[in-house]
């Protein structure tokens, strides 16, 4: 039961940090003439605040699509339900994988991925798009604008890859040791 407590607390903290950061970004970056976020993500009027010149800005953006804005041009009546269904399925898959997870690092990675997925799902249900506000670039080469939920998902996937590589190496070492003892 304690392992599910990690999933619950960690996911709720990730979701809370994501939603808090989005609220703070909207308050700080939405131009004064726009008192609320528009229903259409393409009409967000925002300011850009330079954090580190030539590398990092705060810039509010509405992402109607998924990662790198894929599917953003899908009609709204299909796009929003599509992403909600995909997110709900992802939450179910994550819960199933978490239940079977034997390694602590795998559990941490799934907790972060779940928190990020739910954080972005809340935006999709509430607004029809995801609020992004972190903009990284080098000169004129820009990385797609992202948010804390995206960071949670990316770190979670990274931890999962590290854990898979560790498990693979451990299994290979065990096979090598078994072969050496047999031969």
pLDDT along the chain (183 residues), means of 10: 85 97 89 64 77 93 77 78 89 92 91 95 90 92 93 96 92 85 73
Is 145 a domain residue? yes
Based on the residue annotation, tell me whether 150 is a catalytic residue of this protein: yes
Clarify whether 18 is annotated catalytic.
no
Element (H, E) at 33: none
Which residues have C-beta within 8 Å of that of residue 29, sequence separation ≥ 6? 46, 47, 48, 49, 58, 59, 60, 133
Among residues 18, 123, 150, 163, the one annotated as catalytic is: 150
* Whole-angstrom distance, CA of residue 82 vs CA of residue 175: 44
Closest-CA residue to 41 (of 71, 62, 67): 62
Out of 76, 132, 163, 182, pick the active-site residue.
132
Within-domain flag for 110: yes
Asked if residue 177 is part of any domain, the answer here is no
Tokens of residue 50, six digits: 């330079």
Give the domain extent around 22.
2-168
**Would strands 130-138 and 141-142 be described as parallel, antiparallel, or unpaired?**
antiparallel
The DSSP call for residue 64 is -
Task: Identify the pLDDT of residue 183.
Answer: 62
pLDDT score for 35:
58
What is the structure's pLDDT at 176? Answer: 86
């Amino acid at each position: 039961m304690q392992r599910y407590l990690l999933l619950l607390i960690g996911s709720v903290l990730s979701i809370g940090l994501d939603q808090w950061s989005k609220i703070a970004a909207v308050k700080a970056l939405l131009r004064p003439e726009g008192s609320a976020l528009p229903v259409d993500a393409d009409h967000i009027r925002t300011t850009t605040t330079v954090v580190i010149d030539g590398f990092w800005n705060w810039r509010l953006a509405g992402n109607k699509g998924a990662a790198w804005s894929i599917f953003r041009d899908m009609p709204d009546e299909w796009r929003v339900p599509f992403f909600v269904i995909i997110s709900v399925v992802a939450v179910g898959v994550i819960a199933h994988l978490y239940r079977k997870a034997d390694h602590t690092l795998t559990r941490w990675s799934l907790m972060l991925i779940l928190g990020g997925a739910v954080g972005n799902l809340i935006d999709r249900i509430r607004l029809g798009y995801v609020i992004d506000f972190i903009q990284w670039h080098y000169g004129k080469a820009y990385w797609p604008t992202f948010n804390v939920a995206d960071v949670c998902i990316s770190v979670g996937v990274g931890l999962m890859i590290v854990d898979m590589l560790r498990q693979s190496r451990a299994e290979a070492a065990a096979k090598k040791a078994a072969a050496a003892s047999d031969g």
